[in-house]
Chains A and B, each alone.
Chain A
């Protein structure tokens, strides 16, 4: 098996190349995705191999990008549209809420919407206003769409491939804070496709459970490293990967094993995925708990301008503090 060490930008780019080669119905569209290869270069050079008809620079119009992707999808193509930043999906939010998620149900399966909407998300790169939010929960509240967020180059490739092959519409969030900061070995000659709707146990353990996803996985793992090495901590870390529909089973099994849970996410606190997970644990595993669940989250404020963003994003001290609370209970 040969591998290549790639960043997430590169592995996503690879996944697009692979899927476009595999299926002539796959095309990418969006602002600056063609000649420029995307502002983050995720669609780089696709235009060279597949031409301007399959790597399409559209006018600056998110509603048309998302709505036309819906049209392409119900027609029988497999569009992968890029919205330049998740903060600009809102121009086309209507299409997601009113059409993408409903067409299967309201046509009794006559139509499906096999499209992927890709967008960079999250903060931490001292970007301009509207380029930092973690708004994934808005989409988790829309039954009918699948919401995915990878946490590293390898699962990014495997999840994007799965998303493109999915017959349900997928909102695919790419945490830009880790677009280029992590490299991983990618099994390039292996068609690795990750199952959607399945969480991954990033580190098996028995002492307590940390549930997280996306950019916070690395922050969490880095925070835990020293304690694991020096204090023999034995955490189980769950990487959600798909935020909706949520993988109950992996979460509940872990809770039953450890009885102690910390949930970490960058998105605002109220209505964050932690709230949903806590509700489900309450429904299905309440009596397995040995301590109240802690959550470490972004705050219930708009994301501050970048000078103050360090106060907003969960970091190692905040995560450690929560874990200690759960352990000493």
Chain B
């Protein structure tokens, strides 16, 4: 074989809405003012929800969690493209998608209070629970997409993960499965530039994450992840391809984790204020707001009303979650979900546990009144996880 070159497929990039709120009209997707305001409402809701949760966490009312602040366009933009029959396979930083797919504020807070009960109603909705072990869920997407293909459904499996996840074997193995089996999957990477303290340049020597698709025979696209329109369009196209039997797509959405990795993290140790300022100017929410105002879809008064409604809803959701916590939930209910039928020895263990929990409030974080007379530690008294 003489010397030659192999031409690799090129990677498309896309941006529609810039930092100043200006759009490229030719590329703008057709969305009604109502649809636009709905998108804005979800982005704003997610932002405020995390901000309020940060305060609650600092007050010791809820546990460690990872905020999504700065990534609202990537999350809501992609969620808008999802249909009910599509599967949502999350990692742990997709609040906007969760809210769009129906997560209640109460369930959000119950999760942050450490209750599995928050996930009780997942059945039938095509949403998997969070996957904390980084990238492992990518393989699940291959399996779900495979099932969809076997059943010849017009649907797709959409899996979310971060830039750090692209270093894990699971990500590569899953992409390869989807490439070779031509599966209806969308790999949605929120490249927020950081994996805890590890910057992208330590994560990969590759010029982009999107190009990793090429080696697997999968389409790769890179979009401005803080541009809700670009994300929506790219997700829509990828989903169409998947639903129409044209295979998988890897979307890299360029965004920025504006806040801490989790409430136990301190970014001042590893990144600069300059970097944070640079990304502040690219904020997804403020640029979308500017656009909506320029089109007269939104004004200060409307925005203010929206903010008030959101604050109210968040407060109510939190109160309902706290009510649940103080309602004496069965502290041993987790035994009931280990197997379809509880083995006899486990039953004995549950009974032993019951006799030993009797008369003591074993629910962490229940308020003083509920804890009274018990040896239980209240939330806020214990050391935090550092991740």
| Residues of A near any B CB (own CB < 8 A) | 31-32, 35-37, 39-41, 57-64, 84-85, 87-88, 90-91, 124-131, 176-177, 179-181, 269-270, 299-302, 304-311, 315-318, 321
B92 to chain A, nearest CB (A): 8
Among B65, B116, B379, residue most surrounded by chain A Cβ atoms (within 10 Å): B116
What 6 pairs across the A-B complex have the smallest Cβ distances?
A: A127-B385, A306-B114, A36-B197, A307-B114, A59-B167, A60-B164
Question: Complex: how many Å from CA A72 to CA B1?
Answer: 38
CB under 8 Å from chain A, chain B span 253-296: 262, 264-265, 269-270
Give the distance to chain A from B160, nearest Cβ to Cβ, in Å: 16
Closest to A88 in B: B133
Residues of chain B in range 102-147 having any CB-CB distance to chain A below 8 Å? 113-116, 130, 132-136
Pair A307/B132 contact, Cβ less than 8 Å: no
Chain A residues whose CB sits within 8 angstroms of the CB of B382 once the complex forms: 124-126
CB pair B115 A307 closer than 8 Å = yes
Q: How far is the CA of A124 from the CA of B133 in the complex (A)?
A: 20
- The answer on a CB contact under 8 Å between B387 and A84 is yes
Indicate if the CB atoms of B331 and A36 lie closer than 8 Å. no
Are B338 and A87 interface neighbours, CB within 8 A? no
CB <8 Å contact, B64 and A127? yes
Q: Do A129 and B346 have beta carbons less than 8 Å apart?
A: no
> Bound state CA distance, A243 and B244, in angstroms?
55
Q: Of B78-86, B224-232, B349-357, which binds chain A?
A: B349-357
A311 near B198 with CB under 8 A, answer no
Shortest Cβ distance from residue A85 to the other chain B in the assembled complex, whole angstroms: 7
- List the B side residues contacting A124 at CB < 8 Å: 382
Residues of A close to B325: CB separation below 8 A: 307
**Given the complex, which residues of A lie within 8 Å of B379, measured CB to CB?**
126
Contacts of B63 in A (CB 8 A): 126-128, 306
In the complex, A307 Cα to B367 Cα: how many Å? 12
CB distance from A141 to the nearest CB of B (A): 20
| A31 and B198 within 8 A (CB) | yes
Residues of A within 8 A of B384 (CB): 125-127
Q: Which of A57, A304, A305, A306 contacts B197 (CB 8 A)?
A: A57
Complex Cα distance, B375 from A232, in Å, reads: 25
B364 partner, pick from A59, A300, A310, beta carbons under 8 A:
A310
Distance from A322 Cβ to chain B, minimum over Cβ atoms (Å) = 10
The A-B contact count (CB < 8 A) is 162
Establish whether residues B168 and A60, one from each chain, have CB atoms under 8 Å apart when the complex forms. Answer: yes
Contacts of B370 in A (CB 8 A): none
**In the assembled complex, which residues on chain A have CB atoms less than 8 Å from the CB atom of B353?**
299, 311
Q: Which residues of chain B come closer than 8 Å to A85, judged between CB atoms? A: 387
Name the B residues within 8 Å of A318 (CB-CB): 356
A60, A128, A177, A315: the one within 8 Å of B132 (CB): A128
A180 to B264, CA, bound (A): 15
Knowing A36-B269, A41-B386, the reply to whether A31 touches B196 (Cβ < 8 A) is: yes
Report how far A179 CA is from B382 CA in the complex, Å.
12
B64 touches A126 (CB 8 A): yes
Which chain A residues border B386 with CB–CB below 8 Å?
A: 39-41, 176
Q: Which residue of chain B has its CB nearest to the CB of A308?
A: B331
- Known A31-B195, A35-B269, A300-B346; 5 more pairs at CB < 8 Å: A59-B202, A60-B164, A176-B386, A300-B349, A307-B364
Residue of B nearest to A305 (CB): B114
Q: Does B335 contact A (CB under 8 A)?
A: yes
Q: How many Å lie between the Cα of A58 and that of B357 in the bound state?
A: 44
* Max chain B C-beta neighbours (<10 A), residue from A58, A300, A318: A300
Which chain A residues border B165 with CB–CB below 8 Å? 60
Q: Is the CB of A37 within 8 A of B269?
A: yes
Which residue in B198, B334, B365 is a CB contact (below 8 Å) of A304? B334
Bound CA–CA A316/B374 (angstroms): 13
Contacting pair A91 B133 (CB below 8 A): yes
Residues of B within 8 A of A129 (CB): 130, 132
Contact A61 B168 (CB under 8 A): yes
Q: How far, in Å, is A237 (CB) from chain B's closest CB?
A: 21
Residue of B nearest to A316 (CB): B375
* A176 and B335 contacting across the interface, CB-CB below 8 Å: no
Q: Are A308 and B196 in contact (CB under 8 A)?
A: no
A-B contact pairs, 5 of them (CB 8 A): A37-B269, A128-B65, A177-B383, A305-B114, A311-B332
B197 to chain A, nearest CB (A): 4
Is B180 interfacial (CB 8 A cutoff)?
A: no
Whether A63 contacts B169 in the complex (CB less than 8 A), given A311-B332, A311-B353, A318-B356, comes out as: yes
Residue of B nearest to A124 (CB): B382
Q: Does B377 contact A (CB under 8 A)?
A: yes
Q: Is the CB of B364 within 8 A of A308?
A: yes
Q: Which listed residue, B92, B133, B346, B363, touches A307 by the CB 8 Å rule?
A: B363
The answer to whether B203 has its CB under 8 Å from any CB of chain A is yes
B133–A59 CB distance below 8 A: no
| B23 in the interface (beta carbon within 8 A) | no
CB-nearest residue of chain A to B334: A304
Choose from A57, A299, A306 the contact partner of B335 (Cβ within 8 Å): A299
B330 to chain A, nearest CB (A): 9
Provided the pairs A32-B197, A60-B164, A125-B385 are in contact, do residues A308 and B345 lie with their beta carbons within 8 angstroms? no
Residues of chain B lying within 8 A (CB to CB) of residue A309: 114, 364
Question: Quick one: given A57-B197, A315-B375, are A179 and B346 in contact (CB under 8 Å)?
Answer: no
Question: Known contacts being A269-B349, A305-B116, is A60 close to B383, with CB within 8 Å?
Answer: no
Given contacts A91-B168, A91-B169, contact A301 B346 (CB under 8 A): yes
Measured CB to CB, the nearest residue on chain A to B366 is: A307
Residues of chain A within 8 A (CB-CB) of B376 are 310
